[in-house]
Amino acid sequence: MEGEAQSQDDEDQRLERLHFANVLKAFDDYLPYCLSANDARRRSYFSLPRAHQQLLAEVGQPLSLPELPSGSSQAAPTRGFKSRLEEIDDRIRRNADLLSLIADESRGFLGPDAFGEEPEASPEANHGNQSSSNSSSSGKDVNGSSLKGGRKRRKISGHEIDKIQSTLKQFVRDWSREGEPERSAVYEPLLEAVAERYGKITFQERGHVRILVPGAGLGRLAFEYAAQGYSCQGNEFSFYMLLASHYILNKSSRVNEHVIYPFVHSSSNWRMADDMLRPVHIPDVLPSSLPQTSEFSMVAGEFCEVYSKADEKRAWHVVATCFFIDTAKNVLRYLETLNHLLPIGGHWINAGPLLWHFENSGSSRGSSGDSMSIELTLDELVQLLPRMGFELEDRRELSPTPYTGMLNGMLQYNYLPEFFVCRKVRDVEPAPEV
């Protein structure tokens, strides 16, 4: 039995390394993939009659130029459809500069042997509104060309590039001035709920209050709790989010250090070309500017696996979840883990919708346990709370809000998030595995 357990641990580590290598590959392949997707638009343009090309060359407002270092000379603004495609190419390259920094900073995370095998695709769910790019290449073929040593690169998927594009939009939500209205709609109630219950503690003593933020994404909500003096830990499962959050949290040296162009990947539903080419500065605050009394950390791993361990029992005063509980395959396991984490009198604070991420996964992946998904209505979830050891203290519907929405776009998706605060009133033993 001991040998079987070790073999399983070895296999789990191998799969984790493969997935991590796959994520880094997606960061690396963003540039050729997205340039090629834009080149498909260019081919469509050149397939038009010459008269139509000429008409498109004369439409639209003069295009904004990218931001350059002070003292650099700028070319004269241009206009027209073809010029817009050239500007999109430019912004993709500028995005790739930051993505390369993120990937290069992260390559040693799992040790020098992390890339011994070709990575495999590993789909993940996301609340963002994403669109797929066309499979393509630019320069070296990302869909099958030879690498050094004669190996073949696995074909990159649109889903993986979607994850990179979604990460850029997540930067807007969490770390830009433009994203402040969107994040405040859900972050402010979560912050205020903690302030109401723990805010009377002096700032110097708040470091003794431990707050956990599962599904922390790029870490802004966890950072905000730490900035108020609490000791806070973010937990995140997605390597895409972990790599990006590590860079922005640990390698930022000044406010607005980086400029990204997160909206250039889709040409639909824009009022003006400049909305699509819009620059966004990150970070809007310096993440290193935290009080010495607080502690702030990020932990990788699946929520239940990491926090159902014995040493996490009653270890946290508050658990704050934002757009998170619907990432569960079995939300009852989440509730059991939340109960395990908190002492009697501790608080679970939640804000978000119920977009069950694994709904319909069983229909495409067979009937194994890995593809299970239990989807509850809000009414069913609330009725479960007292049975899982929680007493509801506050509950309300929040204002409509997007998630990584299009700034100035003609299409907006809004959620009506539910907000509630629960106090743990009794311990609940987890159900045994089947």
pLDDT category, 370, cuts 50, 70, 90?
Answer: low
Q: What is the DSSP letter of 424?
A: E
pLDDT category, 28, cuts 50, 70, 90?
Answer: very high
pLDDT of residue 10: 73
pLDDT of residue 72: 57
What percentage of residues in the chain have a pLDDT greater than 90? Answer: 74
Beta bridge pairs of residue 227? none
pLDDT of residue 297: 96
CA distance 431 to 415: 32
CA distance 237 to 214: 9
> Where are the strands (E) in 186-270, listed by range?
210-214, 231-236, 258-260
pLDDT exceeds cutoff 60 at 158: yes
Cα 113 to Cα 2, 21, 27, 104, distances in angstroms? 25, 10, 19, 15
φ and ψ at residue 154, rounded to 5 degrees: -70, 145
pLDDT of residue 318: 98
What's the mean pLDDT in 206-223? 97
* Three-state SS at 231: strand
pLDDT exceeds cutoff 90 at 358: yes
pLDDT of residue 369: 52
pLDDT exceeds cutoff 50 at 260: yes
Beta bridge pairs of residue 232? 211, 296
pLDDT exceeds cutoff 70 at 175: yes
φ and ψ at residue 241, rounded to 5 degrees: -70, -40
pLDDT category, 361, cuts 50, 70, 90?
Answer: confident
pLDDT exceeds cutoff 70 at 131: no
307 burial class (0-12, 13-18, 19+ CB within 10 angstroms)? Answer: buried
What percentage of residues in the chain have a pLDDT greater than 70? Answer: 84
Query: Check: CATH 3.90.550.10 for 179-252+287-424?
Result: no
Q: Which of 5-9, 160-164, 322-326, 412-416 has the lowest mean pLDDT?
A: 5-9
pLDDT exceeds cutoff 90 at 102: yes
Phi-psi region of 255 (alpha: psi -120 to 50; beta: other; left: phi over 0): beta
Nearest to 215 by CA among 129, 308, 302, 128: 302
CA distance 58 to 52: 10
| Average confidence score pLDDT of the chain | 87
Q: What is the DSSP letter of 401?
A: B
**Residue range 10-24, pLDDT digits in tens:** 777 888 888 899 999
pLDDT of residue 141: 33
**Residue range 386-401, pLDDT digits in tens:** 999 999 999 999 999 9
pLDDT of residue 27: 96
pLDDT of residue 108: 78
Q: Which of 95-104, 105-114, 362-371 has the lowest mean pLDDT?
A: 362-371
Q: In this predicted model, which residue has the larger pLDDT, 208 or 146?
A: 208
Handedness of CA 131, 132, 134, 139 (dihedral sign): positive
pLDDT of residue 19: 86
Phi-psi region of 139 (alpha: psi -120 to 50; beta: other; left: phi over 0): left
Indicate whether this model's pTM tops 0.85. yes
- Residue ranges covered by each domain of the chain: 179-252+287-424
Q: In this predicted model, which residue has the larger pLDDT, 231 or 364?
A: 231
What's the mean pLDDT in 47-68? 91
Nearest to 132 by CA among 161, 111, 96: 161
What's the mean pLDDT in 211-229? 98
pLDDT of residue 5: 63
pLDDT category, 111, cuts 50, 70, 90?
Answer: low
347-352 sheet: strands from edge to edge: 296-300, 231-236, 210-214, 318-322, 347-352, 418-424, 390-397
pLDDT of residue 64: 87
pLDDT category, 279, cuts 50, 70, 90?
Answer: very high
